Amino acid sequence: MDNFNFYSPTEFVFGKGRENECGAYVKKFGGSKVLIHFGGGSVVRSGLLDRVKTSLQAEGILFEELGGVKPNPRDTLVYEGIRLCKDKGIDFILAVGGGSVIDSAKAIAVGVPYDGDFWDFYSGKAQIRAALPVATVLTIAAAGSEGSGDSVITKEDGMWKRGAGSEHMRPKFSVMNPELTCTLPAYQTACGATDIMAHVFERYFTNTTEVEITDRLCEAVLMTMVKETPRVIEDPNNYQARANIMWAGTVAHTNLVGVGRAQDWNSHGIEHELSGLYDCAHGAGLAVIMPAWMEYVMPHNPMRFAQMANRVFGVAMNYENPTDTAKKGITAFREFLRKIGMPINFAELGAKEEDIPTLVEKFGLGETGKTGGFVQLTSESVRAILENAVKASL
Amino acid sequence: MDNFNFYSPTEFVFGKGRENECGAYVKKFGGSKVLIHFGGGSVVRSGLLDRVKTSLQAEGILFEELGGVKPNPRDTLVYEGIRLCKDKGIDFILAVGGGSVIDSAKAIAVGVPYDGDFWDFYSGKAQIRAALPVATVLTIAAAGSEGSGDSVITKEDGMWKRGAGSEHMRPKFSVMNPELTCTLPAYQTACGATDIMAHVFERYFTNTTEVEITDRLCEAVLMTMVKETPRVIEDPNNYQARANIMWAGTVAHTNLVGVGRAQDWNSHGIEHELSGLYDCAHGAGLAVIMPAWMEYVMPHNPMRFAQMANRVFGVAMNYENPTDTAKKGITAFREFLRKIGMPINFAELGAKEEDIPTLVEKFGLGETGKTGGFVQLTSESVRAILENAVKASL
């Protein structure tokens, strides 16, 4: 186990009807003039936005509104949000929505106290040193952004998708009412579930040894997702399954399941190029990329994949041939994805084989560049992974 | 799953040599004049206290010292600490030690800004509304106090052992260097491991259904303990096993593994009377009480015990007779305790059967009183549990 810091100071306010307590929590964490940031009309139509506003008004908290966040949230709206906050003297940002809305809110939050271009934080040019406080009312179990210090934004000019991270970006509180996720279409529910599992897998496949506690915690989240996801696909109103998934999504991404070990994140990196190019759902892109990546890197440590296969998917251990167990684990993962309605190859995602050179180039390794992680990747490896994703079948 | 709040704002600073960063973290969290609170001479002899002081001095932080905390920490020293803090204008308390030292530090922290007797918080007379900031340098993996808002203090007059809890008591940061635990005697190591497992079991046995995520997280911690504890008993210098146990101990008690469900805590309650009366180690008391409690309550829900037996201890599921699986799980737990050197009955603990009426009376249910939890207990049930603990054998 490596040295680490673990710091997750977000207060999670979980359960039925908790959005009605928003105002009290904004007050607890010092907000007096709030920007309510949201996406499309669903939070308006569902009445959620009204309940949030009522709760803020009950505490005498002033607010402005900025909607319009799209999936793969854009830099353009972030600039608009920063201007609005500066003009109106906003001191607290409340994101009402899913990962895209929260990521956009975090970008606005770091942009307000910064004199330069907020994109500097995402392009790696500058380090985040301050932010307005952010809080969330979560409506989709997926990104884990409600409990993380990370944010991913897409630059509209060129569709560059890049991430930033900082302690300052961690939400002060996150309201999580599983009821709010019951109206999600099955496809989005499944995309979210895939993203949650990917957040765990990115941490699970590591070269750090002797990390039993985090291995077991990873497996706990994965087993929960394997059990509960098909239940909500079958019955969208299953509150209990929704609740288990929603909390699993947070546990998957506060970094509790990843401390003390090297992590990978190459699947996320490659997928960002896919959703950047095709504007597809992040989870759907991960469903295609993650198993393709697994196939490519598995020979590096078949026993780790056999452990996953056995402990998470219940594949019987083949002691004479652990690689066989490992392969069956990857197949079990793809079968699970198919069962919940996810694409498993380029064609099903709507991606094109002829774009592979573009995707490899955008990932930006150059001819000799290598990424870190479980297995270091060259441009050639990324190409091979994408080719796995083209030909994947069941 | 029930509604819940989860809030664990402690920054965990984990790994080799991290105690040398104490000063920087005290500064980060606003301390300028620190009370260093500790127990016996071991932290002096090991050089730990010197390293902590050097780190504080490097940041220009002033400090006072108060040692002498005993296991089952006493109210008398707490009063002394409160006086010292008030006299010297202390604004931050740094506990260097195990659970007893940390609990004592928390009691001092809530006592300083309170006009009345700090014991009011422990007797249930008053609610905690403020505290000096507390931080810890942990030397024993056991109590989980480094990541909890709880504290247990023993009133010397009558040896009453009582607990208090509050958000205000949560440490700002906790330095956790597993190396510091390598010098612990095997008995204390095993007591700590038992306490960690008990913290999980108290949350695991619940009547709340549909809590898959927390069940799996509980089992993750328990399986880690089952694997790693015998390794450190055999080789005290096994850093990796020490590290896994130390982090498992924190995860076991931030309440992450207990949210969204009713919890029990009757075994802890009964054990407090044992260690209050005999001044025995809390973990040793739990090793005797916890399985005795399990035997008593198991018929209430044999399937929950079968799940534990199968998932945690690898007992094969007897589908024709789940109660048999459940019983084997309790036996497996006792065998595990025996293997790591824990007592499993009254005689091995040094407790006396003839004290049972005193213990029942001190637990204080009266003739009709009931505690909450998995199974409500009457005085008669407590007597039966203690009798199980007398006659336990393997």
Q: Which domains does chain B have, with CATH numbers?
A: 11-180 (3.40.50.1970), 186-391 (1.20.1090.10)
Task: Tell me which chain A residues have a C-beta less than 8 angstroms from the C-beta of B9.
Answer: 8-9, 11
Task: Report the first-to-last Cα separation within chain B, whole angstroms.
Answer: 37
pLDDT band (50, 70, 90) for residue B366: low
At residue A365, does pLDDT exceed 80?
no
pLDDT digits (tens, 9 = 90+) for A188-245: 999 999 999 999 999 999 999 999 999 999 999 999 999 999 999 999 999 999 999 9
> Which of B11, B15, B248 is closest, CB to CB, to A213?
B248
Residue type, A197: M
Q: Do B212 and A221 touch (CB under 8 A)?
A: no
Strand A150-155 and strand A62-66: pairing?
unpaired
Is B1 an interface residue toward A (CB < 8 Å)?
A: yes
User: Which residue among B14, B211, B240 sits closest to A4, beta carbon to beta carbon?
Assistant: B14
- State the amino acid at position B315 in one-letter form: V
Read off the amino acid at residue A360.
Answer: V
pTM: 0.96
> Each residue of B317-351: pLDDT tens digit?
999 999 999 999 999 999 999 999 999 999 999 99
Q: What is the C-alpha separation between B173 and B167, in angstroms, rounded? A: 14
- Cα A98 from Cα A102, distance rounded (Å): 6
| A316-359 pLDDT tens trace | 999 999 999 999 999 999 999 999 999 999 999 999 999 999 99
Q: Which of B2, B10, B220 sits opposite A216 (nearest CB)?
A: B220
What b/e readout covers B341-379, taking b as 16+ CB neighbours within 10 angstroms? bbbbbbbebebeeebbeebbebbebeeeeebebbbebbb
Nearest to A388 by CA among A318, A340, A327: A327
* C-alpha distances in Å from residue B330, one per residue of A236, B268, B285: 38, 17, 16
pLDDT at A366: 64
CA distance B130 to chain A (A): 15
* Phi, psi (degrees; rounded to nearest 5) at B142: -170, -75
Angle between the B282-297 and B186-204 helix axes, to the nearest 10 degrees?
Answer: 40
SS3 B162: strand
Q: Give B119-167 pLDDT, tens digit per residue.
A: 999 999 999 999 999 999 999 999 999 999 999 999 999 888 889 999 9
Mean per-residue pLDDT over chain A, rounded: 96
Is residue B271 over pLDDT 90?
A: yes
Task: Judge contact between B29 and A7, C-beta under 8 A.
Answer: no
Q: Which pLDDT belongs to residue B355?
A: 97
The mean pLDDT of A10-33, rounded to a whole number, is: 98
A365 and A378 Cβ atoms separated by less than 8 Å: yes
> Inter-chain contact B216–A213, Cβ cutoff 8 Å?
no
- With a cut of 70, say whether residue B2 has pLDDT above it: yes
- Residues from chain B that touch A210, judged by Cβ atoms under 8 A, are 240-241, 243-244
| A174 CB within 8 Å of a chain B CB | no
CA atoms of B28 and A21, how far apart (whole Å): 30
**What's the mean pLDDT when you consider all of chain B?**
96
What share of chain A has pLDDT > 70, as a percent? 99
Concatenated DSSP letters of B183-236: TS-HHHHHHHHHHHHHHHHHHHS-S----HHHHHHHHHHHHHHHHHHHHHHH-T
Q: Which residue has the tokens 């990424």?
A: A371
Nearest to A149 by CA among B72, B226, B74, B11: B11
Query: What is the spatial distance between Cα B166 and Cα B173, in angstroms, rounded to a whole number?
Result: 16
The token pair at A289 is 């990329």
pLDDT of residue B341: 98
Question: Is A132 within 8 Å of A91 (Cβ atoms)?
Answer: yes
Q: How many CB atoms lie within 10 A of CB B383?
A: 16
Helix B322-339 with B302-313: angle, nearest 10 deg:
50
Binned at pLDDT 50, 70 and 90, residue B70 comes out as very high
Could you report the per-residue pLDDT of A45-103, keeping only the tens digit for each? 999 999 999 999 999 999 999 999 998 899 999 999 999 999 999 999 999 999 999 99
H-helix or E-strand containing A199?
A: helix A186-204
A18 and B12 within 8 Å at the Cβ level: the answer is: no
Q: How is residue B187 written in tokens?
A: 């008995």
Taking an 8 Å cut-off on Cβ atoms, the answer to whether A216 and B223 are in contact is yes
Q: What is the per-residue pLDDT for A371?
A: 79
ipTM: 0.96
Please, is A32 exposed, middle or buried when counting C-beta atoms within 10 Å of its C-beta (0-12, 13-18, 19+)? middle
pLDDT at residue A276 in the model: 83
Residue B16 touches partner A, C-beta closer than 8 Å = yes
Chain A: residue whose CA lies nearest to B211: A244
Among B3, B10, B219, beta carbon nearest to A220? B219
Question: From the list A2, A7, A224, which residue is nearest B212 (CB)?
Answer: A224
Residue A369 in this model has a pLDDT that exceeds 80: no
pLDDT (0 to 100) of residue B72 = 86
Return the percentage of chain A with pLDDT > 90, whole number.
Answer: 93
Token digits for A58?
């009950």
d(CA B335, CA B174): 33
Report which of A147, A144, A157 is spatially closest to residue A117, judged by C-alpha positions.
A157
Residues 191-250 in A contacting B (C-alpha not used; CB under 8 Å): 209-214, 216-217, 219-221, 223-224, 227-228, 240-241, 243-244, 247-248
A4–B15 CB contact, under 8 Å: yes
